[in-house]
Amino acid sequence: MEAVIGKILGDLGTFLFGPIMLAVFFGVGLYFTIRLRGVQFTRFGTAFREVVGNVGKKTDDGIGQIRSYKALATALSSCVGNGNIVGVAYAIAVGGPGAIFWMWVAALGGMATKFAEIALAMHFRIQDEDGNFRGGVMYILTRGMKHKTIARILGGAFAVFTVFVSVVSCGALQVNTINSAVSGFVGNTTVIPWIVAILILVVDGLVIFGGVRKISDVTTFLTPIMALIYLGFGLVILIMNITLIPQALWFIVKSAFTGDAVIGGVAGATMGIAIRRGVQRGVFSNEAGTGSSAMVHATAKVDVPVKQALYGIIEVFFDTFVICTFTALIVMVSGVWNSGVTDGTVLASTAFRQNLGGLGQVVIVISLILFCLSTVLGWYTYGESAFAFLFGTHRVKIYRVLHMVICALGALISVQLLWDAADVCNGLMAIPNLFSLILFGGIVVKDTKDFFADYDHTQSGGRAK
């Protein structure tokens, strides 16, 4: 039965990330890059200053539920997960180094896509009866479309996919990775999965029952710590192998177009496979095109809604161009990428252990635990918003229990089946989200133009925004 389900999911995932959907992903990114006048390039400095300037603030002006920076930290904690380590290593193993190049290309357009997603979510966000701010594709469609029946169907479909991703792909799958990392470190035993499951059940429950503010507090604390640990030790490895980095970068670019990475684990890799795997893993990692993180950004307290969209540019940049690139280079300069192994956890662990010995194994285990745990907690907020849309705010407690149980069970489920489910769910989420972006792209352009006209006028007058 598992084999049959796996084949169905695999075939559906192949279709969802086939030529048509890849063209849509790239096309939407290019569309907003052009319509927003290359906002991810021309306004990158503005976005960076906005994020850095907000780190030390204790309060934000405007309307919302949590601070802008905390919304970014929660969004980052959601997308910085096992996809940044395990997913990247897997993409190289089965798609060749060229997959990383196409991950970068997709991320360039994804920065504009993410900007547009957040801008739209802020434009159509609501405040529910309990005072919580809600936003996302389901609210964009139901509030923006004239055909309410179609809007409810598409919005409801997005919400269903989001709940599924929250509890399975970005819940159980992340826990499965934690179990694999811990089991590999202490030795495979039948006890470890159950210990991991119980601990996740307890930790998840303690945090999510505190609501979005509790979750944002925890993820704001975890995000910089896990980034510093992984990037810090990753930088040590890259410095140790600094002479190999130019060769690795050249091979990434060369393989993206020639598809000639036909040794070891990537035997038979082609340009088409590289593109598919690169975009697939990129979408799973930075989530640009799925509309997910816009849901937590919609809770941010801001004086001008579009300002929050600037955080989306930094979110994609940090996730893909920093963390994913670190993983790719570490796996490549360590020489483990073409070993014939396709298990991303094993590849990443081997690369760190090969360079740092026992310390490297400890670092990768801690990094995976923190990355995956933060994703579980961050994605809970998306699932809650979707569940509240479907069944009402008063039934959210049911979802909390559901989330705790299914995430805990992730320690006991086949990993390949979960990866296939993750690809399918992300692809299905993207369909109504990309539709909403195309349908309401004009609103994004107008709101962005008005925001920057006011912003530039203020800056030229010598006053801080």
What pLDDT does 413 receive?
A: 74
For 39-61, write each residue's pLDDT tens digit.
999 999 999 998 888 776 666 67
Whether 283 and 426 have beta carbons less than 8 Å apart is answered as yes
Residue 140 has a pLDDT of: 96
Least confident of 98-107, 197-206, 361-370, 413-422: 413-422
- How does pLDDT run across 100-152, given as a tens digit for each residue? 998 898 899 999 999 999 999 999 999 888 888 999 999 999 999 999 999 99
Pairwise CA distance, residues 224 & 173, whole Å = 23
- Span 221-254, pLDDT tens digits: 888 898 899 999 999 999 999 999 999 999 999 8
SS (H, E, C) the chain: CHHHHHHHHHHHHHHHCCHHHHHHHHHHHHHHHHHCCCHHHHCHHHHHHHHHHHHCCCCCCCECCEEHHHHHHHHHHHHCCHHHHHHHHHHHHHHCCHHHHHHHHHHHHHHHHHHHHHHHHHHHCEECCCCCEECCHHHHHHHHCCCHHHHHHHHHHHHHHHHHHHHHHHHHHHHHHHHHHHHHHHCCCCCHHHHHHHHHHHHHHHHHCCHHHHHHHHHHHHHHHHHHHHHHHHHHHHHHCHHHHHHHHHHHHHHHHHCCCCCHHHCCCCHHHHHHHHHHHHHHHHCCCCCCCHHHHCCEEECCHHHHHHHHHHHHHHHHHHHHHHHHHHHHHCCCCCCCCCCHHHHHHHHHHHHHCHHHHHHHHHHHHHHHHHHHHHHHHHHHHHHHHHHCHHHHHHHHHHHHHHHHHHHHCCHHHHHHHHHHHHHHHHHHHHHHHHHCHHHHHHHHHHHHHHHHHHHHCCCCC
Domain ranges of the chain: 2-456
Q: Tell me what pLDDT residue 331 has.
A: 93
Residue 263 predicted with pLDDT over 70: no
User: What topology does CATH give the domain 2-456?
Assistant: Amino acid/polyamine transporter I (1.20.1740)
State the pLDDT confidence band at 262, using cuts at 50, 70 and 90. Answer: very low
Q: pLDDT value at position 151?
A: 95
pLDDT at 40: 96
Mean of the per-residue pLDDT values for the chain? 86
Residues 207-220 have pLDDT tens digits of 999 888 888 889 88
Q: Which of 162, 23, 117, 444 is nearest to 311 (CA)?
A: 117
Q: Does pTM top 0.85 for this prediction?
A: yes
